[in-house]
Structure formats: C-alpha cells, structure tokens
Amino acid sequence: MNKIIKYVITDILRNKIVVIYTVFLLAASFSVFSLEDNSSKGRLSLLNIILIVVPLVSIIFSTIYMYNSVEFIELLVSQPLKRRSIWLSLFAGLASSLSIAFFIGAGIPVLIYQANMIGFTMILTGIILSVIFAAIAFLATVKMRDKAKGIGAAIMLWLYFSLLFDGLVLFLLFQFADYPMEKPMIGLSALNPIDLSRILILLQLDVSAMMGYTGAVFKDFFGTSTGLVFSFFVLLSWIVIPVWYSTRKFNTKDL
Amino acid sequence: MITLKNISKQFGKLKVLDNVSTSCDKSECIALIGPNGSGKTTLIKSILGMVIPDSGTITFNGKDISNNYQYRDEIGYMPQIGRYPDNMTIGQVLGMMKDIRGKSGELDEDLIKAFSVNNLLNKRMRTLSGGTIQKVSAALAFLFKPSVLILDEPTAGLDPVASELFKEKIIAEKDKGKLVLITSHILSDLDDLVTRIIYMQDGKLVFHKSIEELRKDTGEERLVKSIAQVMVSNYE
Amino acid sequence: MRYFFFIFFCIFYTDASAENIYAGAKRIHKNIRSAIKAAANGDTVFVDAGFYKEKNLSVDKSIVLKGIGYPVLDGERRYEIISVKANDVVVDGFRLIHSGISSLEDLSGIKVYDSQNVVIRNNILEDTFFGIYIQNGLNCTIENNTLKAISIEEQQSGNGIHCWKGDSLRVIGNKISGHRDGIYFEFVKNSVIWRNISKNNLRYGLHFMFSNDDMYVNNVFRNNGSGVSVMYSNRIKMFSNYFEENWGDAAHGILLKEISDGYMEGNYFTKNTSAIYMEGANRIHMKRNVFENNGWALKIQASCMDVVLEYNNFIGNTFDVGTNGSLVLNRFTNNYWDKYEGYDLNKDKIGDIPYRPVSMYSMIVEKYPPAMILFRSFITTLLDKTEKILPSLTPENLKDSAPMMNKAF
C-alpha cells in the first residue's frame, strides 16, 4: 500500500495549488501574528482560516485531484493491486499531503507564536479538518462520474457545513427557545465536523465566557475527558465513515 | 488463457455487453474490432477487472478473476489515454510501477531503450507530449514481461518510427508465446500483426476467427478490405 | 516642668508595672489559661511552642498574648478557640487548628466581642469554622494572618475574616483560602482592606454589604466560587485590586449591586466569566482599569445610571459589554477597545467613529444562552458584521464616542 502513498505525496506536494495554499497559509499566519499587537486577534483570524479556508481548499482540491486522476486510477487498477488498497493509498496520500501543507503553512507559525494549548488545539483541529474534508471529497467523487457535477457537489457540501448548517441550528434554537436546548445542541454539533472543531477551539479560546451557565454545560461535556473522547471519536468517524463507504463503492465501481 | 463465459453488462438502459463468450489462447495476437460503442473497451476493462460484469464469468489461466487481483500480475496493459500524476517524473512513474509489481530484476527494457525513455527520466509528466506519454505507457506494458498484453488503441499517438518499433516488439512477444489483445481503429496497422480477429457490434460478439478463415470467408487478401466487407454486410 | 514629670511618670509607671508572664510545659504556668489569670492589664503573656488544648480561651484583660515559635491551640472541633472580650488586646503568633463547627453559633478561631484597638496578627488558622471574627469592633487591626479552611460544603463552612458592625477596621496582608467568604463585611464603615489575598473560597472572595466609606487596595481575589460581591453600600473606593479567574455562571470578578458613588481605579480583571456585573449601580466612576481575557468585561443592567467609564483598557475579552435593555444612561469615553476597527484620520489618537461595545451576538446569547455554541461560526460573524453596519438589535446610544487608538495607559 505505501508503495503508492509516497509517490502520491511527492506528486501533490509539488502541485502548484498546494504550494500556493501553503504559502498563503504561511503569509496569512505570520501576518496575523506579527501585525496584531495582541495575539488574541491573531488567533481569531487564524480560527477563521482554519474553519473556512482549510475545509474549502481541502474538499475542492481533493475533488479536482481525484477527477484528474481518473486515468491514473485506471492504470493502477490494471495492476496487481487490491482496489481497496489503491483507494486507501490515494486517500492516505492526499490527506497526509494536505495535512503537511497545513502544518507547514499554519502549524509552524502557531508553534512559534502560540506554543500553548490553544495553539496545539488549533493545529490538531486544522489537520483533522483537512483529513475530514478530503474524506468527504472522496465520497463526492465516487458518487459522481461527472467532473462538473462532482466539483459542484463539493462546493455545496462545503457551503452546507460552514454556513447553512449553522443557520439551521440558529433557526432551531430560536424556534425552541423555551425548551432546554443544551443537550440537543451537543448532539447537533456532532453532525458537523466544523462546529465540533470550533467548539473545541472555543473551549480554549473563550474559556471565561464558556464557563457561564450554558457554557458550563458545554464545558462540562466537551471539557471533560468523556467529552474529549466523544469529540475525538465523532471527528474520527467523520473520517472513517466517508472513507469506508467510498471504499465500498469504489470496490464495485465500473471505471 | 482467458475464457469468457456469458458476459453481460448494462450501463443504465444501454446493454454494452450482451452474452459474450469466447476464449483466447497464448501465442496469439488477437485484434478486437468493431464500430464505436460496440463494447470493445468494456470487454477489455472487464478482463482487467475495471468493469465488473453483471453476469457471466471470466477465467484467467483457469481461475475466476472476480475478487481476485493477483492475476493482473500476468497482464501488461496499455491504456488508450495514458495520464499520470502531473508532478511525477518519468523516473518516478517507472519506480512506482516497479514498486507495485515488486520485480526489480529481469525487466524487459527493450522499449525503454528503443524509445530512448531513459533520456527523459527527469521530465515531469505534465510537460510531456501525448506521443511521449504513449511511449511511456507502452514501455510500462512490456516492462514486467507479462504473459498477456492488452493494448487499447496502442499506435494512435505514436510517430511512424515508434509505431514500427512497437509492432516489431509485439510480434516478437507473440512469438515468445504470449497472448496479445489489441483494439485499434487503424486497421492497416494490424495487418501484419494479428493472427485472430474478434468482431463486435452492439455489445454482441459477432465472430471470432483466425485471420486465414476471415480471408477465406470474405475472399479479400487485405484485412482492411475484409473487415470493411464484414461491416457493410452487418449494416444491412 | 510639672507637666513633664507627669508624662515621665506615666511612661515609667506603665513600664514598671507591665510584667512578662510565661506559659509553657517547662514554666510555672503549664497552660495559657492560668497565665492569663495571673496577668494584669498591660502585661504580656508569652507562650512557648507546644500543643495546647485550652478549650475556650477567654481573654478578658488588656494584655498582649504572644506565641513564640507558633504554639498550637487545638479547639478539638468543639470550641471557639480564643474569645477576646477586652480592649487593647494583641494576639500574635499562634497556630489555631480545628475550631468547633456549629450551625447556631458562629464559632471562630479568634472572635472579638465589642472591643476597641484589638490587634490580631501573624497567626495561622487552619480548619477553623469562622476564622477571625470581629463583632462590633472599633479601630481593630487584622494583619498578616493566614487562614486556610478545608471545607467542601458551604453550609459546613464559615467566613475567613468576618466583620459584623465596626468602624475604622484595618484588614491588611492576610491570606485566606477555602472558607465560605474570604472576607465578609457587614455594617462596617471607614475601614480599609489592603494587600490581602483571598482565593479558592467557596462563595465570595470578598462579601460586602451595608458598609459605607470603605476602601480596598491592592488585594487579590482569585478563583473564588462567585468572585466578589459588593452590595448596598455607598462611597466605596477600590484601587489596584486583582480580580482573576472567577469562573461560572454566577461568578463575577465583582458584582456591584445597589452601589452608589463608588470609585474604581487601576484594577485588573483577568479571565473572569464576567469581570463586572452591575445592577442598580449609580454614579460609579471607573478609570484606568484593565479588562483582559474575560467572557464579558462588563455586564451592565439597564437599572444602572450615571456610570462613567473612561481610560480603561479592554483586551481580548470574548464580549466587551453585555446589557439587557436598550435604555442607556451611562457614559463610555476614551477607553481602548481591542476590537475597535475604526480609523484616526486626524491623528489625535482618538478614533474618528464611535465604538459600539455591545455586539449583536452578545445580545442573542443574553437571550438564548445555548446560542453560545455557535459563537465565532461563519454565520454569527456575518450577523455581527451586518449589525455593525445597520444596528437594529443593539442599543443605539451605548457607545464610546471617543475610543482610543492605543492603550489608554
């Protein structure tokens, strides 16, 4: 399996878009940290990058890469290789190169300016989000044969996770304002990896505010080891389920 | 070597393979011929495991190929359009394939030498012309000395010199007892190559004959003409 | 000359009559009780290091009670350890442990009953119910004591330094932890609380009611169950105190309820759920305070009037100001807000457009607390930005018209 991974990684890391993405992250992170006189504003800008830019780049790039690799995948399938290991290798290669790009672009500046729990949480969630959205892209590409449709679906998925979902949650919240919504909110947040990552960072970033009454409910949940294990497993299943399902689809897909 | 039994495949409403049965033996060079959309490529892809037939079985050296992948170790495949990861060099592609096949010694580097691929090892795939990519694909198909070669429109992008070298190589391999399956539109290319013809139309296998039989049946000496005659008669 | 003689005589007299009496295992007085019995007003009773079980030790003469090498007084979890019932008493250098716990009486480590000029200093109190208790004291000093309680439940715990009715008290340099309230003031006036550290108490670091004309300076209130609470008091002055890490819904750096004419300067509020919570506060002047990394820097209810905030620094707070109404009768000016995004074209270091410290989302969270879970998401950021351009939910005139471009100090 790792026969293919290393070639995929070397290929993607030389890709122009990935290089631009890395440089953009580097420039953005260094500028937010060095321009702002207090680091909390820098952290906020970086939070937006992690929650918005990383999933977007991750899902779109992965989708395009997969569609461009159709012939290459065919060639691999004609080799004595299991389809499962081809698919998983491609995923591993793509996910790890996106993670490497994120780590170099955002992780290193964070480690320089913010080597604390907040920084580590940011790096970790950024990497996890890169992998999750690569996984979701794999799901989109295996379901759609048409490139234009596939990229459209990827953009829609990103829009859904980063904007529409939260709008929906806010709407529900207003509708059911008279009911205790803390527990359902925790459940809902599990349905969106971006939200879950955001809450994990928020618990570090805005701990004082999160310790208020409702916040304390979240903090009591997400801040405890059970909550952390829960969050970790939910995020993990956001990787595992799309990958597993797309692998299953790919196994019987006609190329 | 390869036996197909009642292979059917449907894409949506379109029946691309309709109850196809045949067998191919070694030391043959078989041309797969038919109009566009007749199911040639699907048939090849079925053999390679890229398309999974709705029904029927394919056996390779007596073994069923479904849920099996090791048999492809015996196959060298040259796709119609080769496309490799943009930022890999030719050297890396060759290296990767060697890694995948796990064979390092005893490689057939005839075509690599013949096409002077060695001079291009550091070129990135995205910088290559279509013809060069075809050369790489061809070289890869032969590199691991497979007992079966499946070539999909192999000569389409090759220049005449390369094309000639390539044909010589095919003949040489056939003579070594290998099975070669070729699809091509350029029938003239196949003339002195092939020993058998499989003719397909609308997903059905119309006939599978040796070239001598075909000549006898049509009374034409040249392959182009005999096929043309077949096509015309089938259109009617 | 006669006058001089009189003074000389006075000094000589006190000197001559003041005796030193010793208590200890190797002394004539084996216990403190008998030493006190033998003492007269003005004497000093020295107590050797050792372990004493005196039950309730009543000090009813004006004496100095001084421990040498921290003699231990054990209340056996049943008694009030020292009861001071005379003026001019000094209690110095004891280690008091295990006072009694009672729900009827306020059993204490040291309790002062209706006395003047009492000094309690350099004592260590461990596991006492109430620590040092001044009941109706005048001009008393509580200095450099360390009070550490280990209770877990509020009902089972008393206050560290408890002053009920008093005038001109001085509470200086004490360290209090683990009590119900660190320092408790009720009906105490003209007093000063200075350089104390009150932390990890179950309820309030400082609890302050019906006490006028007091001042606290340079204290640290950290990580108390509900922060600091100042209620129903007038003319309070607070300088350079630290309010830190008071976390929880009901926890505030400081709660100001029904307070008038207060003045706060140079205080630091760091990492509190809400740094200041004001309700019914009038004429409070806040100047040069620092609010850093709080959930809410300021929660100001609509019942507050004439509160003035100037030259404060607001840095890294999740929300700068939260409020529950649209009526604003308070004034914000010349503060530094790190969230300010305005410009300064005339270079006078004051922003040219006003800053609105109430964000739309803080109003939403005020109304729908679970909405906190969506904080800093893309959609809420969008909402906040639109609100900035077209204010609809946030109070129109709650604004700082002259925000500073750089830190105010």
Residue-wise pLDDT for A5-33, tens only, equals 888 888 888 889 999 999 999 999 988 88
Burial of A178 (0-12, 13-18, 19+ CB in 10 A): exposed
Q: How confident is the model at residue B236 (pLDDT cuts 50, 70, 90)?
A: low
- Please give the pLDDT value at position A183: 81
Question: Residue B143, SS3?
Answer: helix
Q: Tell me whether A17 touches chain B (CB under 8 Å).
A: no
Could you give the CA distance from residue C90 to residue A55 in angstroms, rounded to a whole number? 70
Dig out the tokens for C341 from the structure.
Answer: 């995004």
ipTM of the shown complex: 0.87
Domains of chain B: 2-235 (3.40.50.300)
Helices (H), A103-212: 108-113, 117-143, 147-159, 165-175, 182-189, 193-205, 207-210
Report whether pLDDT(B105) > 80: no
- Give the residue from B73, B166, B152 showing the smallest Cα distance to B117: B166
A12 to B69: CB separation less than 8 angstroms, yes or no = no
Residue B13 CA neighbour count, 13 Å, CB half: 0
Residues of chain C below pLDDT 50: 10, 12, 16
- Partner-chain contact B79 A78, CB within 8 Å: yes
From the list A3, A8, A72, which residue is nearest B100 (CB)?
A3
Higher pLDDT, A156 or A34: A156
What is the SS3 assignment for B146?
Answer: coil
Residue from C290, C373, C381, C393 to probe the interface with A (highest A Cβ count within 10 Å): C373
Question: Which residue shows structure tokens 């105010």?
Answer: C408
pLDDT for C1: 56
* Residues C75, C96: Cα–Cα separation, whole Å: 8
Give A209→chain C minimum CA distance, Å. 4
The answer on pLDDT for B68 being more than 90 is no
Task: Give A217-249 pLDDT, tens digit per residue.
Answer: 777 788 788 888 888 899 999 999 999 999 999
Provide the pLDDT for residue C6.
Answer: 56
Residue closest to A88 by CA, chosen among A243, A249, A238: A243
Q: Which amino acid belongs to residue A171? A: F
| Cα C260 to Cα C280: distance, rounded to the nearest angstrom | 9
Measured between alpha carbons, how far is residue B78 from residues B87, B109, B126, C267 in Å?
21, 15, 19, 78
Of B205, B206, B211, B213, the closest CA to residue B224 belongs to: B211
Under 8 Å between Cβ of A51 and C378: yes
Average pLDDT over residues A49-78: 92
Say which residues have a Cβ less than 8 Å from residue C92's Cβ, sequence separation at least 6.
C64, C65, C66, C67, C119, C120, C121, C122, C123
CB contact at 8 A, C276 and C269: yes
CB of A255 within 8 Å of a chain B CB? The answer is yes
Average confidence (pLDDT) over A83-104:
93
Q: How many CB atoms lie within 10 A of CB A94?
A: 27
**Which domains, and CATH codes, for chain C?**
49-218 (2.160.20), 226-358+394-409 (no CATH)
Residue A127 burial (CB count, 10 A): 21
Nearest to B156 by CA among B127, B125, B189: B189
CA dist A8 and A100 (Å) reads 13
B in contact with C (at least 3 C-beta pairs within 8 A) = no
What pLDDT score does B214 carry?
83
Measured between alpha carbons, how far is C341 from C356 in angstroms, rounded to an integer? Answer: 10
Of the candidates B79, B86, B92, the beta carbon closest to that of A75 is on B79
Given a contact cutoff of 8 angstroms between Cβ atoms, the answer to whether C32 and C51 are in contact is no
**How far, in Å, CA of B206 to CA of B34, rounded?**
9
Contact partners, residue B56, CB within 8 Å, separation at least 6: B4, B5, B6, B7, B8, B19, B20, B21
Most confident range (mean pLDDT) of A125-139, A164-178, B64-78, C387-401 is A125-139
Measure CA A77 to chain center: 28
Q: What are the extents of the domains in chain A?
A: 2-251
Both structure tokens of B222: 């040249």
Residues sharing a CB contact under 8 Å with residue C175, sequence separation 6 or more, in sequence order: C145, C146, C147, C148, C196, C197, C198
> What whole-number distance in Å separates Cα of residue C201 and Cα of residue A180?
31
Which pLDDT does position C4 carry in this prediction? 59
Structure tokens belonging to residue A25: 């992250």
Distance from CA of C255 to the nearest CA of A (A): 15
Q: Residue C249's closest CA among A207, A215, A181?
A: A215
- Show Cβ contacts of residue A202 under 8 Å, excluding neighbours closer than 6 positions: A210, C375, C376
C-alpha span between C187 and A114 (Å, rounded)? 48
Per residue in B111-166, pLDDT tens?
888 888 888 888 888 898 888 888 899 888 988 888 999 998 887 778 888 888 88
